[in-house]
Amino acid sequence: MNTDEFEDRLKALRPRLHRYCARMTGSAVNGEDVLQDTLVKALHARADGAGVDNLEGWLFRIAHNASRDFLRARSRSTIVPLTEDVEAAPMAEADIVAFSFQTFLRLPELQRCAVILKDVLGHSVEEIAGIAECSPAAAKSALQRGRAALRQLAQAPEDTRLPLMSDSDRQKITAYVDLFRSGDFDAIRAMLADDVKLDLVNRLQWEGRDKIGLYFTRYAEETKWRFALGAVEGLPAMLVFDSTGPMERPAHFILVGWSESRIIEIRDFLFAPYVLEAIDWVRLG
């Protein structure tokens, strides 16, 4: 497999890898960060001559370890007490994906890994064991316990997370949204820091206010988008709706990072629709 073919396979597997990373980390946004780390590690390993017999299994093993590193750094893993006699039959994918990412985060690590890989992504118990680097018996046990835990959690009252947004953050994102609505992109450009970073997720990364100017020009030329103040996983966000289709859910969203009154980072998920799956979002205005 040459380099171009390898990178094409990475791109094709990106949505599946994100489904895993998002549920392992309990966040679609953090899952994208872990996914990017996974792909960088894969590319470096490839450049160093790593032999790969099973590309998908190899990538999921990297993603699994990257997710574990992320969780250990954040110390966010919570154990769910289980009984031994709860039914642990397979769960339909439609039922699985209905669980929020935060619900998955309440499972112990190996149980979370096993349920996601088997019931969401369709891996075998043997493949799960290879990815998680455990025995097939341990993988099978974790799968059964994880399924049982999710059924228990489904019976508990939903724990809705409300956006925690300071007045300052709300004022900044509100001003940003208002400028997009009015098409005053020159005013936005004036707010950019000299070393501002743009991450057009799954497409490109730019740095510097001069390069990023074209990004706003493209938005100015597109008339179908509608913009709203919102929050994604508790983070201030601009929700973007497609006026040519259903408006019940955003088509994508944009996160903006600030340093005092200057914009230092823009993360636009236009080209990463997979991130919206089961994400926690709320429209605020």
- Mean pLDDT on 23-39: 94
Query: Could you tell me the residue range of the domain that residue 278 belongs to?
Result: 167-283
180-214 pLDDT, tens per residue? 999 999 999 999 999 999 999 999 999 999 999 88
- Residue 178 belongs to a domain: yes
Amino acid 183: pLDDT: 94
- Residue 174 belongs to a domain: yes
Boundary-marking domain end, from 112, 133, 155 = 155
- Whether residues 116 and 240 share a domain: the answer is no
- Whether residues 82 and 186 share a domain: the answer is no
- Whether residues 101 and 190 share a domain: the answer is no
Q: What tokens appear for 191 in the block? A: 């707010």
Amino acid 132: pLDDT: 94
- Mean pLDDT on 264-272: 97
Q: Record the pTM.
A: 0.80
pLDDT band at 234 (very low <50, low <70, confident <90, very high): confident
The rounded distance, in Å, linking the Cα atoms of 170 and 90 is 43
- Residue 75 belongs to a domain: yes
Tell me which of 265 and 89 has the higher pLDDT: 265
- Residue 65 belongs to a domain: yes
Bridge partners, residue 239, by sequence = 228, 253
Share of the chain above pLDDT 90, in %: 65
pLDDT band at 217 (very low <50, low <70, confident <90, very high): very high
Average pLDDT in the chain: 87
The rounded distance, in Å, linking the Cα atoms of 139 and 104 is 17
Structural domains in the chain (count): 2
pLDDT band at 66 (very low <50, low <70, confident <90, very high): very high
Amino acid 80: pLDDT: 40
Residue 19 amino acid letter: R
Which region holds residue 234: left if phi is over 0, alpha if psi is between -120 and 50, else beta? left
- Residue 119 belongs to a domain: yes
Amino acid 89: pLDDT: 53
The string over 224-244, giving b where at least 16 C-beta atoms fall within 10 Å of a residue's C-beta and e elsewhere, is ebebbbbbbbbbbbbbbbeee
- Whether residues 181 and 253 share a domain: the answer is yes
128-140 pLDDT, tens per residue? 999 999 999 999 9
- Mean pLDDT on 207-227: 93
SS3 per-residue string spanning 240-278? EEECCCCCCCCCEEEEEEEECCEEEEEEECCCCHHHHCC
Amino acid 75: pLDDT: 63
